[in-house]
Chains A and B, each alone.
Chain A
Amino acid sequence: MKRTNTDDPAYFHKVVDCQWACPAHTNVPEYIRLIAQGRFTDAYMLNRESNVFPGILGRTCDRPCEPACRRGRLDGKPVAICRLKRVAADLKGEIGHLLPRAPEKKNGKRVACIGAGPASLTVANDLMPLGYEVVIFEKYDKPGGLMRSNIPSFRLPEHVLADETAAILDMGVDIRYNSPVTSMKDLLGHGLAGRFDAVFVGSGAPRGKNLDIPGRNDTDRIHLGIDWLESVAFNHIESIGEKVLIIGVGNTAMDCCRTSRRLGGKDIKVMARRPRAYFKASPWELEDAEEEGIEIVINHAPKRFVLENGVLKGMEFERLEWDAEAKKSRVIDTVIIPADDVILAIGQENSFPWIERDVGIDFDKWDMPAVDETTMQCSRPGVFFGGDAAWGPKNIIWAVAHGHAAAISVHNHCQGIPLTERPPDRMNLITQKMGISEWSYHNDYNPVARQKMKHVDLQRRFEELSLEVELGFDVEQTAREAQRCLNCDVETAFTAAKCIECDACVDICPLLCLTITRDGEEAEVRERLSAPAVNPEQALYASTPLPQTSRLMLKDEDLCVHCGLCAERCPTAAWDMQKFELLISYAGTAVTEPALAQV
């Protein structure tokens, strides 16, 4: 079978499931270790390197890392990575002196960013230290974009948002509030704002999808979810009726129903077309909503709004019965559910009325700009897209990842380097061996269960709209949760030439990951593993032939708990535990800069 090439940083990177799954590739295990050591500031700064907004994301991230977490495959519950990130942000010390700074002397290049959301802010974060002059055009009078307008303050306190946006803007970003860009042609044509060397569009997906059914336009008590949340965020709306229906069951719906609960809603129902298994909302957001007394009603399809004398009275729904895969449905009957207000949260879409269609920016058949997935550039050189503006609604962490990628492109574009010549990711591998059976990481397995986040008492939390519901982990919870991490970045590194095939590693491995067996076709070799390889998504490491018998050392990466016992029981140090550090390249990382030598 094919031998594994561990010189490619991608191999060990993929073993660190959380980091691999994270769009920004945050070094999760390392920051969890720093938290365990009480080094909260260091943990925060490590986070900030890749995800820029640890405090914000520690509360609101969509957490692609958690479903990927190896711990979840072992005891059913992943490490509470997101919550630990928040711990680092909450307990960090003074960081002002550690933040990136912009040089006095500028490099003479000007970059325009449209919208002050996470994507644009990330571009500014990466380019300001390189001497760029970054101008951000923001339509409101505060930064943050959808992080401010669409995430309720009881989930994301204002001061957290303010601190982390200020960390970037205070480098000297030229941010122009109340300045919506109304014409791309004007911006590109050296209009009022002057000449720009590059333009980054990070304007989000600001248009809520409408539900065009009878009665839609006959009352002002039907709201578009994201617009309504925005109005609440900017204090334009301060109350809602007692009976509220939310249409749709994504994360925006969750924010809408919980916000309604705080603005006077008493009887709030989230209306879903399909059964629970098909909800778009994250499980934890559903849980939080239900804890607050929100009712989630399944299998109801909106039919019409019911009005009496111009006053909204409720909505008529078709009750559906779905087949097993929830693909086909049958209408059982219709019901009318009373409502004072209805909020539509059935999705959002991009809208670029301000981009003229003759400026060289191609739009596809869905009226979306054609954007290159690697360079983030559209068909017009020097114009880049990122965040929700690029491919429709995703989430904050994707916007950050797009921002980093776009910043590299902007830098290359401005310096005359081809966009495809991107600085590669590199790695460090450093042995963790301190002595016989002694490691510089905590290798023991803690069977403790995932810690539960404490919430503000149900009675209290509705008294004030901006009262943060989640209280964060306390010290003991933090310590326990940090120990649940399996240190997947401390990799099992094998040197075939040293192996004497004594079987010690195979015998000691608690998860039966290792096998020494003769070579063959991979499908057939998989039949001979110590334990069945149940997860084809995970790599099967294969060594070069072993010296004494020419058999291969195989390792199924799936369930390895990185306890290091294989290396401890190895008499020849053929196995070693080496800490993998992914050296991610950002804008300005020199391509020629060599990685530190492998130790």
Chain B
Amino acid sequence: MPSIAKPIAVHPSLHRNAIGLNLRDYEGAMSTLCAGCGHDSITAALIRALWELSIEPHMIAKLSGIGCSSKTPTYFVNGAHGFNSAHGRMAAIATGANAANRELTYIGVSGDGDSLSIGLGHLCHAIRRNVKMLYVIENNGVYGLTKGQFSASADVGSKSKRGEANRMSPIDPAMLALSIGATFVARSFSGDKEQLVPILKAAIAHRGFALVDVISPCVTFNDHNGSTKSYLYTRKHMQRTTEADFVPPASEILATIGPSGTTTVTMHDGSVVRFSAVPKDYDPTDRRKVLNYLQENQSSIATGLLYVDETVANLHEMNGTPAAALWSLPYEKLCPGTAALRELQEDYR
């Protein structure tokens, strides 16, 4: 825990975004995580992405479950709404919150324990429902909060701090998500904000559920030789599969077509994701090709915006819900009374 709160002195030439806020207006409380934790870097990337998108803090909802990762919503955007749920239940709570108020920007932060062990079922169904939200998995391969046991994302052969190797096969959240119909799948690294920030922005602009798996080294329990989720190992094995820029709505797209071809995907809100480099025969809109690619490149850590599909309806669109948040509906319409209920029930007799 740092000795002091971050000094309130602000850089005099710090830029302001479209709604007049500077970067530091998107900060939260001081982090109590270990010094050097990858999660803090992801927090910093979220702060930057939300600031660059000029989202009003009070129109953001931050949700999390239990774990080191799930502490982090406290560390960004003080002015946002927040909900810290029971272990693994963040996806379910977010689904409910989103159903009731579709006007907020939902940022879910979870870890490999919260999402891939206790909360795996909830994660899968939020993906299936295509709930419009950013779902970040801060993935470090260990249970840091309980002192470093292997998590469900630990690779076979990866060694614990004491030297024993993991033998159970890992769950790869990206491949899992692709296999059950996810519409936005990305992987990045906490130590690579140049890549992470545009991915987070694209994820927030996405029409439905956006899964961002971020390798986030645990400095205390999983940053040693033999770990496959250390800073050094990740840097050595990371392979930037796609290079993508996020272009906000109504901006001029200055496309420079690279040797490996350029693809642009127009997002639902009019913004554009421009892939400036993708491997030969790789199409970030072709689920089968992406799955194959990931299957074939398991020895490296493939990062980038791996897959995006803007054509699939989200939770609200599938269910034909009202266009506005439920709180804004007149009470009589939201709860039409006993007579209306009886009439509805009659329909099913």
A positions within 8 Å CB-CB of B:
73-75, 437-439, 443-445, 447, 500-504, 506-508, 510-512, 531-532, 534, 548-549, 559, 561, 563-565, 568-572
Contacts and interface: CB of A to CB of B under 8 A. Distances in A.
B7 interface: yes
Contact of A559 (B11, B24, B37): B11
Interface stretch (B40-48, B88-96, B274-282, B297-305): B40-48
A507 B43 contact: yes
Contacts of A503: 40-41, 44, 190-191, 193
B231 A569 contact: no
B41 A502 contact: yes
A561 B217 CA distance: 29
B37 A504 contact: yes
6 contacts: A447-B8, A501-B231, A502-B38, A511-B9, A559-B12, A570-B36
B162 interface: no
Contact of B3 (A437, A504, A512, A570): A437
Interface of B: 1-4, 6-14, 23-24, 34-38, 40-41, 43-44, 190-191, 193, 217, 219, 223, 231-232, 235
A443 B3 contact: yes
B11 A531 contact: yes
Nearest to B219: A571
Most chain A CB within a 10 A radius of its CB, from B8, B23, B191: B191
Contact of B4 (A506, A507, A565): A565
Contacts of A531: 11, 13-14
Contact of B13 (A443, A532, A563, A571): A532
B232 to A, nearest CB: 6
A571 B232 contact: no
Nearest to B38: A502
A508 B219 contact: no
A510 B13 contact: no
3 cross-chain pairs, A with B, having the tightest CB-CB distances, nearest first: A571-B36, A445-B7, A507-B44
Given A504-B40, A571-B219, 15 more contacts: A437-B2, A443-B3, A445-B4, A445-B8, A500-B231, A503-B41, A504-B41, A508-B6, A510-B6, A510-B10, A512-B23, A548-B232, A549-B235, A568-B3, A571-B36
B11 to A, nearest CB: 5
Contacts of B223: 500
B35 A570 contact: yes
Given A501-B191, A502-B217, A507-B43, A571 B8 contact: no
A439 B36 contact: no
B44 A563 contact: no
Contacts of A548: 231-232, 235
B7 to A, nearest CB: 3
B13 A534 contact: yes
B36 A569 contact: yes
Interface of B, secondary structure class, is: loop
Contacts of A447: 8-9
Contacts of A534: 12-13
Contacts of A500: 36, 219, 223, 231-232
Contacts of B1: 437
Contacts of A445: 4, 7-9
Contact of B219 (A74, A438, A443, A502): A502
Nearest to A556: B11
A569 to B, nearest CB: 5
A contact patch SS = loop
B5 to A, nearest CB: 8
A73 B1 CA distance: 29
A547 to B, nearest CB: 9
A218 B35 CA distance: 80
B43 to A, nearest CB: 7
Contacts of B34: 571
A508 B7 CA distance: 10
B231 A504 contact: no
Contacts of B43: 507
A26 B10 CA distance: 29
A572 B235 CA distance: 18
A571 B31 CA distance: 14
Given A500-B223, A507-B44, A565 B6 contact: yes
Given A502-B217, A504-B40, A444 B35 contact: no
Nearest to B75: A507
Nearest to A437: B3
B66 to A, nearest CB: 23
> Which of A507, A508, A512, A571 is the most central at the interface, judged by chain B CB atoms within 10 Å of its CB?
A507
Contacts of B9: 74-75, 445, 447, 510-511, 559, 561
Nearest to A75: B9
A314 to B, nearest CB: 48
A510 B210 CA distance: 30
A503 B23 CA distance: 17
Nearest to A439: B3
A508 B219 CA distance: 17
A454 B38 CA distance: 51
A461 B3 CA distance: 47
Residue among A444, A504, A508 with most chain B CB within 10 A: A504
Nearest to A508: B6
A508 B47 CA distance: 12
Residue among B1, B2, B34, B40 with max Cβ neighbours from chain A (10 Å): B2
Contacts of B231: 500-502, 548
Nearest to B232: A548
A485 to B, nearest CB: 13
A548 B189 CA distance: 14
A571 B9 CA distance: 24
A21 to B, nearest CB: 20
A597 B69 CA distance: 43
Contacts of A501: 191, 231, 235
A570 B36 CA distance: 6
B191 A507 contact: no
Given A445-B7, A511-B11, A571 B193 contact: no
A565 B2 CA distance: 7
Given A500-B232, A561-B7, A561-B9, A507 B2 contact: no
A512 B2 contact: no
A535 to B, nearest CB: 10
A439 B2 CA distance: 11
A74 B219 CA distance: 34
B217 to A, nearest CB: 7
Nearest to A445: B7
A437 B193 CA distance: 26
A559 B3 CA distance: 20
Contacts of B23: 512
B14 A512 contact: yes
Nearest to A564: B3
A572 B11 contact: no
A553 to B, nearest CB: 14
A508 B9 CA distance: 13
Nearest to A73: B12
A568 B41 contact: no
A13 to B, nearest CB: 23
B217 A444 contact: no
A425 B175 CA distance: 63
Nearest to A559: B11
Contact of A563 (B4, B14, B191, B235): B4
Contacts of A564: 3
Nearest to B48: A507
Contacts of B235: 501, 548-549
A444 B12 CA distance: 19
A437 B23 CA distance: 25
A502 B193 CA distance: 11
B57 to A, nearest CB: 19
Given A510-B7, A571-B34, A571-B35, A502 B191 contact: yes
Given A74-B12, A502-B191, A572 B7 contact: no
Contacts of B190: 502-503
Contacts of A74: 9, 12
A568 B4 CA distance: 10
